[in-house]
A and B are shown apart, each in its own frame.
Chain A
Amino acid sequence: MDKSAISVRNLYKIFGPNDRELVEQVKKGMSKTDLLAEHNHVLGLKDINLDMPAGGIQVVMGLSGSGKSTLIRHLNRLIEPSAGEVYVGDDDVLRMSAKDLREFRRHRISMVFQRFGLLPHKTVIDNVAYGLAVMGKSAREQREGAMGWIERVGLAGFEENYPAQLSGGMQQRVGLARALATDADILLMDEAFSALDPLIRTDMQGVLLDLQKDLHKTIVFITHDLDEALRLGEKIAILRDGEIIQQGTAQEIVLKPADDYIESFVKEVNRGRVVQVETIMEPAPEGANTIGLTVEKGSIIETAARLMSEADVTSAIVTQNGTPIGRVTMRQIMAAVATPNLKEALAA
């Protein structure tokens, strides 16, 4: 298995002193409500199985209380599970000794927090260098390592400021730089952008995606915002009441919501930014060529629509590596964006 791939198996978390004994009862089918009423224990996570590929962005989405922050804290063992397994590469995170766990957290996995978690008494540069200081690097290495990342996240000139002197967006850039500075392959982001204004949030999503193009880290991103999940996530898992109710790509979630709960979320989504051209295309007509307007497979229909109106045409050929594989029309795009139920629209 790839060194930075994460795999979670049959993970349970119950909050309370007798969690390990009560897991058995939950496995036998005791509900969250009964667990609370009869044993005064809270069910946090139930039978979580999740494979996160190395070098990609896995989003875990859920509303507050769904257990998403609990789940991410199992990956670096800030929370001990009641039962189950967590593997990073071939290493069993739950079998690590206290010392191994410290080394693992220092070098292989780092984290960005919702409310930043910066050290208020340290300057920006000392905050960014914190992980390096914990590793025992020299003052010079700390400075050099930190400066590079401060510039990379666009905070050059602010290195001697204290966190309280910065805006929320800038503080989270410090948090991001601190997490990247340790050179860990895995980046955990716990609602990292949720505390920011909408505009700053979009901005930070862009910063993250740009960095990811070069860095190819394994990123686990927690959010309660579906738009954020769809924009960032190569894979998305949706969590509700401690259980994963659907996993898949953004398009799969939007087009085939597993239940009414997810469907109610998905209704409000801008499909134009999620649905890809090959999903709605019709077979390419006889003798289709690539002389006219073409769009590459994997493009979102919003882009296709924009290209079509710019070129003042009503259809485009979908290509894969230069060969035509189908055709999309403006009518199909409009139907996909406008109709709540895409499957019916396509069938009509």
Chain B
Amino acid sequence: MEWLTEFPQIPGRELRQLARSIDQQYRAFSRAWGESIENFFRPLLDFLLWFEDVLISTPWFIIIAVLTAVVWFASRSKTITAGTMIALVLIGLFGMWEPTMQTLSIIVVCTLLSILIGMPIGILMSRSDKLQAIVNPILDVMQTMPSFVYLIPIVMLLGIGLIPGLIVVVIYAMPPIIRLTNLGIRLVDKEVLEAANAFGSSSWQKLVQVQLPLSLPTIMAGINQTIMMALAMVVVASLIGVRGLGQPVLQAITNQYFTQGVLNGMAIVAIAIIFDRASQAYGKRLQRHREAAHG
């Protein structure tokens, strides 16, 4: 009656064999395709390196001026703009300028990539319940699977470097933009949509003139979440060779450099808060038309 107390599992030898054969097949696949996949991502890598270079080689005061201006035009808030400037100056003073620029570049590229891929998926999902039923569980896996687990096949396939780091960050950061684009479009007032139909709008006209503008607040919340999640992945991505604020943190963990860890961590927090406040204030400004002055 051993099976009552011990779970009747697959014998260890067979399990090991199964794992080994899957690993071998994947290795063969990565040997055969690794290079072409790398070449496929080459333009992206070039763009990332170019953007990083631009951020680092541009004089620091210009970067501060540009970032402050962007935050001002997005938020129109003096507090947020002043906070941005102070945070950037402090980051520079404490010697974290270059890694901050590296992190900034990868966050910007990852966010753009997530929006570029995620929004169309979200739009398609909003049009088909079937697709929604298929994509939702995939998104659940992307968000809950420990990121270290999908680091393994990606590193096996592409080695260590910026591109695998980018992929890891995008996998983790993309679900919110997909989910909230889908949700936003599904929540658009049915009567407004019916009116658009009644005037003979094509589905593209409906998307551009009605659905996207009206779901923009929700989509903005998705973009905000995507940025936050990308930032949260910076340290994990540094494990596979992504430079930036993650690496000093990693170094600090292994060597018990408390101050270095805290400073770099604070820089990540500062960037996160700047992005968050600026994008939320922008989203709110898009909603001005809802502020009714009922007559």
Q: How far is the CA of A104 from the CA of B213 in the complex (A)?
A: 26
| Given known A-B contacts A134-B205, A164-B291, A182 and B199 have beta carbons under 8 A apart | yes
CB closest chain-A residue, reference B292 = A164
Taking the complex as formed, is A12 at the interface, i.e. its CB lies under 8 A from any CB of chain B? no
Taking the complex as formed, is B197 at the interface, i.e. its CB lies under 8 A from any CB of chain A? yes
Q: Bin chain A's interface residue count.
A: 35 or more
Which of A104, A105, A119: most chain B Cβ within 10 A? Answer: A119
CB-defined contacts of A111 to chain B, threshold 8 Å: 195, 198-199
Contact B194 A105 (CB under 8 A): no
| Given known A-B contacts A115-B191, A165-B295, A166-B295, A120 and B198 have beta carbons under 8 A apart | no
Q: How far is the CA of A165 from the CA of B291 in the complex (A)?
A: 8
Contact A165 B293 (CB under 8 A): yes
Contact B200 A113 (CB under 8 A): no
| Given known A-B contacts A164-B290, A164-B291, A167-B294, A78 and B194 have beta carbons under 8 A apart | yes
Pick from B200, B213, B214: contact of A134, CB under 8 Å = B200
Which of B213, B289, B294: most chain A Cβ within 10 A? Answer: B289
Pick from B192, B291, B293: contact of A118, CB under 8 Å = B192
**Count the A-B residue pairs with Cβ separation under 8 angstroms: how many?**
81
| Given known A-B contacts A133-B209, A164-B290, A167-B294, A78 and B199 have beta carbons under 8 A apart | no
B127 CB → nearest A CB, Å: 15
Contact B198 A102 (CB under 8 A): no
Contact A105 B200 (CB under 8 A): yes
| Given known A-B contacts A119-B210, A120-B289, A102 and B195 have beta carbons under 8 A apart | no
CB-defined contacts of B214 to chain A, threshold 8 Å: 119-121
Taking the complex as formed, is B255 at the interface, i.e. its CB lies under 8 A from any CB of chain A? no
Taking the complex as formed, is B132 at the interface, i.e. its CB lies under 8 A from any CB of chain A? no
A331 CB → nearest B CB, Å: 49
Q: How far is the CA of A284 from the CA of B289 in the complex (A)?
A: 65
Contact B295 A117 (CB under 8 A): no
CB-defined contacts of A166 to chain B, threshold 8 Å: 295
Q: Mark B228-261, 1 if CB is under 8 A from A, else 0.
A: 0000000000000000000000000000000000
Pick from B198, B200, B293, B295: contact of A103, CB under 8 Å = B200
Residues A105-163 near B (CB distance < 8 A): 105-107, 110-111, 113-121, 130-131, 133-135, 162-163
| Given known A-B contacts A120-B290, A164-B292, A167-B294, A102 and B192 have beta carbons under 8 A apart | no
CB-defined contacts of B205 to chain A, threshold 8 Å: 134
Q: Mark B181-215, 1 if CB is under 8 A from A, else 0.
A: 00000000001101111111110010001100110
Contact A105 B198 (CB under 8 A): yes
Taking the complex as formed, is A76 at the interface, i.e. its CB lies under 8 A from any CB of chain B? yes
| Given known A-B contacts A119-B210, A120-B289, A121-B214, A110 and B198 have beta carbons under 8 A apart | yes
Q: How far is the CA of A121 from the CA of B227 in the complex (A)?
A: 26
| Given known A-B contacts A78-B194, A118-B192, A134 and B199 have beta carbons under 8 A apart | yes
CB-defined contacts of B195 to chain A, threshold 8 Å: 111, 113, 117-119
CB-defined contacts of A107 to chain B, threshold 8 Å: 200
Residues of B within 8 A of A (CB): 191-192, 194-202, 205, 209-210, 213-214, 289-295
Knowing that A106-B200, A135-B200, A162-B289 touch, tell me 16 more A-B residue pairs with CB under 8 angstroms: A101-B200, A104-B200, A105-B200, A106-B199, A111-B198, A117-B195, A117-B198, A119-B195, A119-B210, A130-B196, A130-B209, A134-B200, A134-B205, A164-B289, A165-B292, A166-B295
Residues of A within 8 A of B (CB): 76, 78, 101-107, 110-111, 113-121, 130-131, 133-135, 162-167, 170, 178, 182, 188
CB<8 Å pairs between A and B, sample of 6: A117-B195, A119-B210, A121-B214, A121-B289, A134-B202, A162-B289
